[in-house]
């Protein structure tokens, strides 16, 4: 269903080529100022049409707030509904075809042809816009408590940025860039994207993100581990096909003596000398940075001719996906992954009462 969260409740709605997409966010603490300028910056990082590497569809992606903020822009404690109108949808670009790699086929199975699948409909990547809005508010609330969240592209196609243990300084550096990747790798990444576009094709990538300053003790042993809740949100993002924490799949080839992070004391606090476990042990955060990587599959919409089926005649056909598409969505997914981390971190902090969701009369 369209609802996620424990102490936060997110309820998402909308279709790519309908009137609007939006989200209801309940459970934010009252009295939190929301800087809509900062929200718009995050929206812009996700928005299409930014540069020559992304789709030509341009959407202002302005969020209209229908409820939950007072006249000065502070949270009231009531649910916040944010709506983003669709303005530049060209529905004639789409027919009733089944585009390989897309949800057209499964939407047909699930909704029996009733789904409004123009532009991907409710399955569209456009649904991540309201997620970024919600996550951006969460990031502001977290930042005030010393929790910082950053994401970046660590690989595009076969170009990888290397995998040193990432520091907060490194993340901060790439955070503001139009193409959020390390300086050394970004040219090769961009080149790889341009090549794919030139070939009428697309290419995948990996997004890495981290939460710095997250308190220890968050999460549950069963079934709501910090990893479970975060992965559940990330796997809702269209195109995410893998999620790993800390060294993730590389841990599978390690020995225990390498993978176990040794403990020591500094300034009266227990810390770990390495962070192979990515800030989570037994489903619970340990106060080290939470490190997550998400595998982003190549954009399914490509101009190349592909084998498909016409669902009306149930006969073979070929499709070329027209419309405007990103040859690689990994850069635009960065703020979405940050949003997922912000929402799961804030939910866990609210549950653990690191932040009081609601103030009371004293």
Residue 209 binds a copy of itself (CB under 8 A): no
- By CB under 8 A, is residue 188 in contact with a copy of itself? no
**CA–CA distance, 202 with 324 (Å, rounded to integer):** 12
36-46 and 330-351 helices cross at what angle (nearest 10)?
140
Q: Give the count of alpha carbons within 13 A of 258, CB side only.
A: 7
Q: Does 92 bind a copy of itself (CB under 8 A)?
A: no
CB of 279 closer than 8 Å to CB of 214: yes
For a copy of itself, which is the closer residue by CB, 149 or 319? 319
In the complex, least distance from residue 155 CB atom to a copy of itself, rounded to whole angstroms: 6
**Of residues 272-331, which lie at the interface with a copy of itself (CB under 8 A)?**
272-273, 277-278, 280-287, 295-302, 304, 306-309, 311, 314-316, 330
Q: Which stretch binds a copy of itself (CB under 8 A): 11-19, 36-44, 45-53, 331-339?
A: 11-19
Binding mask 214-243 for a copy of itself (x = CB under 8 A): -xxxxxxxxxxx-xxx-xxx-xx-x-xxxx
By the 8 A CB rule, do 226 and 340 touch? no
Could you give the CA distance from residue 238 to residue 204 in angstroms, rounded to a whole number? 13
Residue 213 in contact with a copy of itself, rule: CB under 8 A? no
* CA nearest neighbour of 129 among 55, 46, 38: 46
The token pair at 311 is: 């669902």
Give the x/- contact pattern for a copy of itself in 120-159, rule: CB under 8 A.
xxxx---x---------------------------x-xx-
Q: Which residue has the tokens 């966010």?
A: 25
Pick one of 171, 179, 212, 245: the residue that binds a copy of itself (CB under 8 A): 245
Q: How many CB atoms lie within 10 A of CB 278?
A: 25
Q: Is 33 in the site for a copy of itself (CB under 8 A)?
A: no
By CB under 8 A, residue 93 contacts a copy of itself: no
């Amino acid at each position: 269903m369209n609802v996620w969260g424990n102490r936060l409740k997110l309820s998402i709605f909308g279709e790519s080529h309908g009137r609007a997409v939006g989200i209801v966010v309940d459970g934010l603490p009252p009295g939190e100022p929301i800087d809509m300028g900062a929200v718009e910056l995050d929206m812009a990082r996700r928005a299409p049409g930014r540069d020559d590497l992304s789709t030509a569809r341009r959407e202002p992606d302005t969020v209209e707030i229908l409820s939950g903020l007072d006249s000065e822009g502070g949270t009231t404690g009531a649910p916040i509904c944010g709506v983003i109108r669709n303005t530049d949808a060209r529905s004639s670009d789409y027919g009733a075809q089944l585009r390989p790699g897309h949800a057209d086929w499964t939407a047909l199975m699930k909704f029996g042809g009733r789904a409004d699948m123009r532009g991907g409909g409710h399955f569209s990547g456009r649904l991540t816009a309201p997620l970024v809005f919600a996550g951006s508010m969460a990031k502001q609330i977290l930042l005030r408590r010393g929790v910082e969240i950053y994401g970046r592209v660590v690989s595009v196609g076969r170009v990888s940025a290397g995998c040193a243990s990432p520091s907060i300084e490194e993340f901060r550096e790439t955070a503001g860039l139009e193409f959020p990747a390390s300086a050394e790798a970004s040219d090769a990444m961009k080149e790889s994207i341009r090549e794919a576009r030139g070939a009428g094709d697309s290419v995948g990538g990996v997004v890495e993100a981290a939460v710095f300053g997250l308190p220890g003790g968050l999460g549950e042993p069963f079934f709501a581990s910090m990893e479970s809740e975060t992965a559940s949100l990330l796997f809702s993002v269209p195109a995410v096909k893998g999620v790993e924490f800390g060294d993730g799949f590389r841990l599978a080839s390690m020995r225990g003596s390498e993978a176990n992070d040794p403990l020591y004391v500094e300034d009266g606090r227990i810390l770990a000398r390495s962070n192979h476990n990515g800030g989570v042990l037994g489903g619970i955060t340990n106060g080290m940075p939470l490190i997550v990587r998400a595998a982003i599959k190549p954009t399914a919409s490509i101009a190349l001719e592909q084998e498909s089926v016409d669902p009306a005649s149930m006969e073979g056909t070929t499709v070329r996906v027209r419309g405007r598409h990103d040859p690689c969505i990994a850069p635009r997914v960065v703020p979405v992954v940050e949003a997922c981390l912000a929402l799961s971190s804030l939910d866990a902090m609210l549950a653990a009462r690191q932040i009081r969701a609601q103030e009371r009369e004293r």
